[in-house]
Amino acid sequence: MEAYQIIKKPLLTEKSYAGIQSKIYTFVVDKRATKTEIKKAVESIFGVQVAKVNTSVVKGHTKTQNTRSGRTVGKTSDYKKAIVALTENSKPIAFFESLS
């Protein structure tokens, strides 16, 4: 897989904003990607040095909607997120620095 296929988008939540100061960033990644593939992808796209990668699969939420014809139950998609920590001497990622 290419680097741009592995890293789908940044994940911007309250908890991920707290990690920006200490060079910890969160991304939505491909479900089949391994930690080493994610590390290489982040290093090649952003030109930084990655110290550690943690991953987790987030289960989709069930959503219920009442309509005229009855109750409809749906589910959002599952996704995999990666929490990437950079080394101390690495430069920060410019995209995230503009947010804080």
Contact criterion met (CB below 8 Å) for 28 and 80: yes
Average pLDDT estimate for 53-67: 94
DSSP state letter for 4: H
Whole-number Cα distances in Å, 53 to 25, 44, 74: 10, 15, 32
pLDDT confidence of residue 100: 63
Q: Which domains are seen in the chain, by residue range?
A: 3-88 (3.30.70.330)
Could you give the 3-state DSSP secondary structure of residue 95?
helix
pTM of the model: 0.87
pLDDT confidence of residue 96: 87
pLDDT confidence of residue 1: 84
pLDDT confidence of residue 99: 77
Contact criterion met (CB below 8 Å) for 58 and 81: yes
Average pLDDT estimate for 57-82: 93
Residue 32 pLDDT class (50, 70, 90 cuts): very high
